[in-house]
Amino acid sequence: MNIPIEYYLILSGFMFLVGVAGVLTRRNAIIVFMSIELMLNSANLSLVTFSSYMGNSTGQLFVFFVMTVAAAEAAVGLAIILAMFRNKLTLNIDDINILKW
Residues in contact with another protein by CB under 8 A are 20, 23-25, 32, 93-94, 96-101
C-alpha 24/C-alpha 16 separation (Å) is 12
Whichever of 69 and 80 has its CB closer to another protein, that residue is 80
Are the beta carbons of 91 and 84 closer than 8 angstroms? Answer: yes
CB 58 within 8 A of CB 51: yes
Q: How many CA atoms, within 13 angstroms, populate the side-chain half-sphere of residue 71? A: 5
Least separation, in Å, of the C-beta of 32 and another protein?
7
Pick 48 or 96: Cβ nearer another protein: 96
Smallest distance, Å, CB 26 to another protein?
Answer: 8
Q: How far is the CB of 21 from another protein (least distance, A)?
A: 10
Q: How far is the CB of 50 from another protein (least distance, A)?
A: 18
Residues 87, 36: Cα–Cα separation, whole Å: 23
